[in-house]
C-alpha cells in the first residue's frame, strides 16, 4: 500500500512555475522543491528568478533554472518551454500561475491595449504553454498541469471586468484541456480568494481585513496556505482527479 508520504513525493520530477518568483508562485516553487522536484522558475524579472533559484538550491539541494518570460508573448512562451526541456529533458508539472489585474477608474476608460494585455497574460499565455508542454507530456510519461485562477472568476465585480472574464476562461479551459490531453495528462485549477502576497502591500489592508471577517475563516490567506492544494494536484495523490476547479478562499459566502 502506498503511504501518504509516497503519494506526495515529487522526487525525480520537474515542475515549471510561471509567476514563480514571488507570492503564491514562490510558495509553490519552494514546496515542490522540498517535495523532491527540480524547478523552472519563470517571471518577467530574471534577477528575482535567479535569487529564488539560488535559495532553492541552497536550502533543498534540488536543481533550479531561472528563466525570464512575459507569458503574454507567444514567442517568449515557446522559448520558455524549449528552455525547460533543453535543461532538464522533461517537465512533469506545469503551473500557469502568472497573472495581472490592473486597476482602472471606469470600464469606459479601459483601453484596447490594456484589455488585450490582461487577456494575453491571464488566458493566452496559459493556453499556449499548456498546449506546448501538455502535448509533450502526453507523448511522453504524462504529467500534471495546474492553472491558477481567481475567485473573481466566480464572483466578478465592476473593478475587474477583463480580469474576471479572462480567469473564467481559464476555468473553462481547464476542463477542456483535461479532455484534450487525457488520459496521460491531468489538468486542474486552483481558484484562490484573498491571499496576503507581495501584491497585497498596495491594498488598503484595514479595509481588506475588515471585509475578510465575513469569510467562514474570518481572515485572508497566507501564501503557504496554497501549498496543500498545489501539492495535491502536482502529485500522485490526485491520480484520479482531472478537470477539477477547486476554490481555496477561506469560505467566502
Residues labelled catalytic: 163
- Asked if residues 229 and 195 have their Cβ atoms less than 8 Å apart, the reply is no
Q: How far are the Cα atoms of 14, 65, 78, 179, 232 from residue 88, in angstroms, in the given order?
A: 7, 9, 16, 27, 23
Residue 237 phi, psi (nearest 5): -60, -25
Return the number of other C-beta atoms located less than 10 Å from residue 104's C-beta: 18
DSSP letter at 195 equals: B
Cα 242 from Cα 244, distance rounded (Å): 5
Return the C-alpha torsion angle 66, 99, 183, 139, nearest 10: -40
Rounded CA gap, 62 and 26, in Å? 15
| 183: preceding bond cis by omega (within 30 degrees) | yes
Amino acid at each position: 500500500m502506498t503511504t501518504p508520504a509516497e503519494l506526495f513525493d515529487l522526487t525525480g520530477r520537474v515542475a515549471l512555475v510561471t509567476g514563480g518568483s514571488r507570492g503564491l508562485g514562490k510558495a509553490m516553487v519552494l514546496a515542490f522543491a522540498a517535495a523532491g522536484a527540480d524547478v523552472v522558475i519563470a517571471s518577467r524579472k530574471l534577477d528575482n528568478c535567479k535569487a529564488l533559484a539560488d535559495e532553492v538550491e541552497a536550502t533543498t539541494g534540488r536543481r533550479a533554472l531561472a528563466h525570464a518570460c512575459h507569458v503574454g508573448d507567444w514567442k517568449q512562451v515557446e522559448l520558455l518551454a524549449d528552455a525547460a526541456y533543453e535543461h532538464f529533458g522533461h517537465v512533469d508539472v506545469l503551473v500557469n500561475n502568472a497573472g495581472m489585474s490592473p486597476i482602472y477608474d471606469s470600464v469606459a476608460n479601459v483601453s484596447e491595449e490594456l484589455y488585450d494585455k490582461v487577456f494575453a497574460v491571464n488566458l493566452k499565455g496559459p493556453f499556449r504553454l499548456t498546449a506546448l508542454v501538455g502535448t509533450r507530456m502526453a507523448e511522453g510519461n504524462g504529467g500534471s498541469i495546474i492553472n491558477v485562477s481567481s475567485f473573481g472568476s466566480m464572483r466578478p465585480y465592476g473593478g475587474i471586468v477583463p480580469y474576471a472574464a479572462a480567469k473564467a476562461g481559464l476555468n473553462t479551459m481547464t476542463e477542456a484541456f483535461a479532455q484534450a490531453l487525457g488520459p496521460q495528462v491531468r489538468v486542474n485549477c486552483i481558484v484562490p480568494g484573498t491571499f496576503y502576497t507581495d501584491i497585497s502591500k498596495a491594498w488598503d489592508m484595514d479595509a481588506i481585513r475588515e471585509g475578510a471577517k465575513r469569510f467562514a475563516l474570518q481572515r485572508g490567506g497566507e501564501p503557504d496556505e496554497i501549498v496543500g492544494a498545489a501539492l495535491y494536484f502536482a502529485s500522485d495523490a490526485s491520480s484520479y482527479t482531472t478537470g477539477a476547479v477547486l476554490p481555496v478562499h477561506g469560505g467566502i459566502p
